[in-house]
Structure 1
């Protein structure tokens, strides 16, 4: 039998001597097949529609709050918005755990069913056959069921981006998924005042939000067929993520993530608060329901444009930190200008411009902040890192709405002639308020959040560094494979054997 031996062909230097190659064996390098599937856009579409319709259900009552209060009862408009924030707090931890343990598809199905069923119950609450005393409890039940979907939905954009999209499309995928939320706010603020011109037209508002919610539910059920693609799109997507409890501890012990948790949660909370109480801020100074909806719409339109631009920018440059800090600082400046202007009459154009600029700068930071959360905590699951920020945002939303309402004072008698909050002079349900003190407190908190972010947030891009290290390893493995291909095999009997001393016998 002829024994085969592998003899590597080594490169020679200028002196003709062999050059040693110090590299690991190719067998020790993991070979991972990466692939991008078209189905990623279907999954993203389902998440975006759920996010959009759920937000319309949440905020749809606020722009027509005075009519809603007349139909469902005093204070009902505020409670129908607050229930989303309140439900998120106890459901949020379960949603993060379920998204990590049960997978993306299960989370989408839970969100789809609760969002769709809740919208149907709201329609039932406004049917003429329902007695007035049962309207609000039935509507609140449907709203609470739909609110269960919210924490499941809000971590989905970053999860879909990380699991289905390549690194060159992650930020823009997160932007599409996340910005469908404020797009829902835009639609609600434009359409709700146009539909609800009297209390008895609340039924048509509920119907308007129910139909697309049911369509989103059907798409989630029949078109999202799996949680993850067969082959991952990136190296980071192929790596195992931490268990839920371990990931939770990792987030809590990360100083940079805690800063992001406070600041991004505060940003979400303040934005939620502003478009929840937008009408209450503007009507004491004589600005109508339609103008309030228009301002919220400008805020969202600007935000969508800003987020699209920032998402594309950071996908190409990876300047997450710089874009986040600059955008949030500018947003606070324009936000403070807007709040001060709401205290005065006759500033429609400056208020509209400040809303637009606030949206461009503020909402542009939202998807970037969620991506930063994934970067700071990798390999923690996106459901955990994003879910905690959403939970923080909802908790702070409740706090900020409470502050705005609790520190509002009765409107001065000299300003009562210009207010448009009351539907009739005898209306005691919609009482106009002076929001001066509330705005001062709100402005101080916003400034403190920006100071914390700009001065103390110094992130490490763990996910990007892991992917770059993996790419370098793969490149090394390819070089080794090329080296092995330069190896020839010859029979051992043909090899040259060194001469040995021979003993001559005379």
Structure 2
């Protein structure tokens, strides 16, 4: 294939092309995120069964979730370095294989006999497998904005980022429904672990069929990224992003809401148990939040792609999501199942709409640094906050107090923290640096409105493409 610095139609104005093969890569990212969601939440939604299966206490079961967040913080820089040095496809394949190994080690642990007096072997191998699988998570969470920036035009980037990013949360919703349904006792726990290992295996397959980069760029900013012989070193980009005050505001807000979602997903059974709700009931609460969230994100992505009002949406959604966290304190009561479902859904709708918006804003306010730098720091803040919140909320959990007073201390903490975190978002004033650069580029170079890949005779294309400009 000919290496061209820019794509022209018979020496005419520059055009930008998108390719259908981008959907293969997006599907691979979605499937990998689905798998990591299942592996993450194999044990915590069925804490009682997991305790019997591993012969451990609740703290160890909670640790299986905490390890995911800690491992992310450790391996996230490595994922950014690999994206820079090895490209998207090889990095995803590396992460997929790590997840595969960890998932199967957890299943092999089920073949080791475990009793209350001799639980070490199964428990140790399970935790080792969980740590290895958790180390793959940043390869899947960090990639959607970078993949969207390289493969999609500016009229589709937010939607692509949304699809890739919320797939992990969708997996969490499905896992909270499926895992309790198939794990009815400690004896059936091994079946759930096996199913998760199979899902992790299937998730590897699409990666082999994706392309690492498009033959030609879909946008001016993608053209820069694709044509540079060497990107700015990841650590240099990371340092620049970390000094950006506007970006730090996004980190705090993103960390708060992602951290609470992760903590909520992991501990929702414990929050609702004092009010006589079962693990299956808690699964419905989490699923309602996530399914409605997917609808919210699904609406927000295309709408924002059309009107580009990222800041307006964010400043509306943050206080509304905070309001629903406050309302939670008044509906988590006995015999309030429908009310909890409704508030969970409304909270999820607002919260998930923010996810692709903040990820794209992170790229916009730090441009021209590589998207993997801003994305990795945003997700790292979410995972770090999740670890802190899990530890704090676990300590605050008091079933007797919740029953006697009707108030859940962890939910009060969540509401208060969200109120505090609302104010900083109104100090976010950054412009849309990437979109402004693309607008200038189009004005300077001129762009053809319509074109067909067959028009570009000097370049052989291996996939059919739609043209977006």
Per the TM alignment, residue 95 of structure 1 is displaced from its structure 2 partner at its CA by: 1.7
Per the TM alignment, residue 309 of structure 1 is displaced from its structure 2 partner at its CA by: 0.2
Cα deviation 1:407-443 (Å, max 9, x = unaligned): 2335149759xxxxxxxxxxxxxxxxx9733333222
Cα deviation 1:5-28 (Å, max 9, x = unaligned): xxxxxxxxxxxxxxxxxxxxxxxx
1:56 aligns with 2:74: no
Which residue pairs with 2:57 in the alignment? 74
Whether the 8 Å contact between 1:33 and 1:231 is mirrored in structure 2 is no
1:35 aligns with 2:17: yes
1:329 aligns with 2:319: yes
Which residue pairs with 1:3 in the alignment? none
Find the partner of 1:229 among 209, 214, 232. 214
Paired residue secondary structure (1:36): strand
Paired residue secondary structure (1:379): coil
Which residue pairs with 2:436 in the alignment? 465
Cα distance in 2, alignment partners of residues 74 and 290 from structure 1: 20
Map 1:133-144 → 2, pairs under 5 A: 133-144=120-131
Find the partner of 1:272 among 249, 262, 276. 262
Per the TM alignment, residue 130 of structure 1 is displaced from its structure 2 partner at its CA by: 6.4
Which residue pairs with 1:15 in the alignment? none
Which residue pairs with 1:179 in the alignment? 166
Which residue pairs with 1:157 in the alignment? 144
Cα distance in 1, alignment partners of residues 13 and 243 from structure 2: 33
Cα distance in 1, alignment partners of residues 217 and 362 from structure 2: 21
Cα distance in 1, alignment partners of residues 90 and 317 from structure 2: 35
Paired residue secondary structure (1:363): helix
Q: Which moved further from structure 2: 352-361 or 437-446?
A: 437-446
Instruction: Identify unmatched segments of 5+ residues in structure 2.
Output: 1-10, 226-230, 450-469
Which residue pairs with 1:101 in the alignment? 85
Paired residue secondary structure (1:239): helix
Cα distance in 2, alignment partners of residues 67 and 276 from structure 1: 15
Cα distance in 2, alignment partners of residues 300 and 147 from structure 1: 21
Per the TM alignment, residue 101 of structure 1 is displaced from its structure 2 partner at its CA by: 2.5
Which residue pairs with 1:111 in the alignment? 95
Cα deviation 1:14-61 (Å, max 9, x = unaligned): xxxxxxxxxxxxxxx996552211110001111110011101110132
State the TM-score, normalized to the length of structure 2. Answer: 0.87
Whether the 8 Å contact between 2:70 and 2:383 is mirrored in structure 1 is yes
Paired residue secondary structure (1:277): helix
Aligned residues: 430
Whether the 8 Å contact between 2:329 and 2:408 is mirrored in structure 1 is no
Paired residue secondary structure (2:84): helix
Whether the 8 Å contact between 1:269 and 1:394 is mirrored in structure 2 is yes
Cα deviation 1:133-162 (Å, max 9, x = unaligned): 311111111111110111111111111100
Paired residue secondary structure (2:214): coil
Paired residue secondary structure (2:391): helix
1:349 aligns with 2:338: yes
Per the TM alignment, residue 339 of structure 1 is displaced from its structure 2 partner at its CA by: 3.6
Which residue pairs with 2:465 in the alignment? none
Which residue pairs with 1:92 in the alignment? 76
Whether the 8 Å contact between 1:340 and 1:439 is mirrored in structure 2 is no
Q: Which has the larger radius of gyration?
A: 1
Whether the 8 Å contact between 1:123 and 1:207 is mirrored in structure 2 is yes
Per the TM alignment, residue 128 of structure 1 is displaced from its structure 2 partner at its CA by: 6.1
Which residue pairs with 1:6 in the alignment? none
Instruction: Identify unmatched segments of 5+ residues in structure 1.
Output: 1-28, 417-433, 479-506
Whether the 8 Å contact between 1:285 and 1:415 is mirrored in structure 2 is no
Per the TM alignment, residue 458 of structure 1 is displaced from its structure 2 partner at its CA by: 1.4
Which residue pairs with 1:379 in the alignment? 368
Whether the 8 Å contact between 2:14 and 2:446 is mirrored in structure 1 is no
Which residue pairs with 2:183 in the alignment? 196
Per the TM alignment, residue 219 of structure 1 is displaced from its structure 2 partner at its CA by: 2.0
Find the partner of 1:208 among 184, 191, 195. 195
Per the TM alignment, residue 203 of structure 1 is displaced from its structure 2 partner at its CA by: 0.9
**CA RMSD, 1 decimal:** 2.2
Cα distance in 1, alignment partners of residues 407 and 394 from structure 2: 8
| Closer/same/farther in 2, CA of residues 30 and 120 from structure 1, 3 Å limit | farther
| Closer/same/farther in 2, CA of residues 236 and 413 from structure 1, 3 Å limit | closer
Per the TM alignment, residue 119 of structure 1 is displaced from its structure 2 partner at its CA by: 1.1
Find the partner of 2:445 among 474, 477, 488. 474
Map 1:228-307 → 2, pairs under 5 A: 228-240=213-225, 241-307=231-297
Cα deviation 1:337-362 (Å, max 9, x = unaligned): 124422x2221111110000001111
| Closer/same/farther in 2, CA of residues 283 and 353 from structure 1, 3 Å limit | same
Cα deviation 1:266-305 (Å, max 9, x = unaligned): 1111110111110010001111111100000101110110
Cα distance in 2, alignment partners of residues 252 and 64 from structure 1: 38
Per the TM alignment, residue 230 of structure 1 is displaced from its structure 2 partner at its CA by: 1.6
Which residue pairs with 1:498 in the alignment? none
